[in-house]
Each structure stands twice: as structure tokens, then as C-alpha cells.
Amino acid sequence: MIFGKIDFLNLLPFHVFMKRYARTLRTHQSLNYHKGVPSILNRSFAARRIDAAFISSITAKNCVSFNVGIVAKREVLSVLSLPCDKNKKDADSATSNLLAQLLMVKGEVLIGDKALRYYYNSGGEYTDLGKVWNEQTGLPFVFALLCSHNHTHEFKKLSYAFIKNPIKIPHYILMENAKKSNLTAKQITHYLQYISYKIGEKEKRGYKKFLKEAKERGLSPSMREIRYQQC
């Protein structure tokens, strides 16, 4: 089984969990990871080159998912729009670029760890897209969903275990990721307080609203379009 791994800090708790949990999967001995940014993993999943991954929410609408995702209740810190003379998309993104369009937020979209470095270290101006969405809708925003082509029973069990058991990140892993991301362990811990993973009723309402608005604006891509689109 090939699992698509987004190597962003927002999934650090899940990666720590998977390291412990994977040995309980029937397929753990054949479990391999394929790393990539969201836009690349979306295409790999659509083309069935990977079996499971956290898929950008705009492309996950027709996929098998498990009520686990990347959620911002309000602010997200890692999905920003920066002041810019013209609109610029982030090549790593799918959902966040579209979210900026729906919210009519002008500027340069910046996501992931590079957005966190900007937030914590630059002191520059920004608009937090998760916060704007919440202000306009009163709902959380679902940025990605855990999806799979197969092994659905195992992923249901995995998802339940992940949500049920809070994950404490060992200090040495925090320090490794701090060095890799050019952030501090304290900044990473602070950031993760803004991210949640359970897709409950309110999150589902927010997700449905996003899909509906994207469809009404003609901005919702098909899986065929995703498979062949470029970054």
C-alpha cells in the first residue's frame, strides 16, 4: 500500500500516530510512503498511483473518506494571502487558491510551512483565509480529507483510533521538525493548537458550503481535470 505523505507541520501529529499505529495494519509490512505537496498528491491519487492520502477538500468530494481531515476552526496561520499588486496562486495548493477566489481576497496565496515562517518571522502584513471564512460563514474550514481507494475497513479503524487518542509529540521529533522548518519547537506547538482533525457535523456543514459555492461559481474541478492539470 502506498500512502501519500504531505510533509507539512499541520500533519505532524498524524505522522507520529501512524508511526506507532502502522504495525497494527494488516498491510504494514508493505506500507510505503510517497511524499509530495497537496497539488501533486491530488494528481497522484486521481491517477491511482497512491492508495491513500490527505486529499485537498475541493478534489475529495467524490472520494471515500473517513471523517478525518485538516480543519481550521477559525484562524489557520498556514494559509495566508499576502499584499500583492496582482493575484498569485501557490503552486503547492489546490483548495487554498480556490478559497481565496471565493472569499474575494486579493493578493499572493502562501500555504504550508513557508506561510508559517512568514507568519512567525517576517512581521509582514497578511490575511488569514481560515479566519475570513469563519467570519463570513460562522463555520470551520476543511482543507483536506483522509481518502482511500481501498483498505477502507483498516482506514476506518485507523481514523477512529487517531481521533480517540490525543497525540503527544516527543520532544526530539519537535526539535527535528524545528530544524527542518526553520521554526522553533514553541512556534510549532503554538501552531498546532489551531489545527484539528475530526470532521463532525459543523465541519461537514462548512465543507458542504464550500463545495456548493465552488460549484455555483464554476470553480470545482473534475477528477479527470485534476489528473492532468499542472502545478
* pLDDT tens-digit series, residues 120-145: 999 899 999 999 999 999 999 999 99
* pLDDT tens-digit series, residues 173-229: 999 999 999 999 999 999 999 999 999 999 999 999 999 999 898 876 644 444 444
Distance CA 189, CA 122 (A): 19
Residue-level pLDDT at 72: 97
* pLDDT tens-digit series, residues 90-117: 999 889 999 999 999 999 999 999 999 9
Instruction: Decide if pLDDT at 159 tops 60.
Output: yes
* pLDDT tens-digit series, residues 145-155: 999 998 788 88
Instruction: Decide if pLDDT at 17 tops 80.
Output: yes
The CB density around residue 84, as the number of other CB atoms within 10 Å, is 12
What is the pTM assigned to this prediction?
A: 0.90
Beta strand pairing status for 127-128 and 32-35?
A: unpaired
Distance CA 116, CA 181 (A): 9
**Domains in the chain with CATH codes:** 2-220 (3.40.190.10)
* pLDDT tens-digit series, residues 20-33: 877 666 555 557 78
Instruction: Specify whether the CB–CB gap between 117 and 191 falls below 8 A.
Output: no
The CB density around residue 221, as the number of other CB atoms within 10 Å, is 18
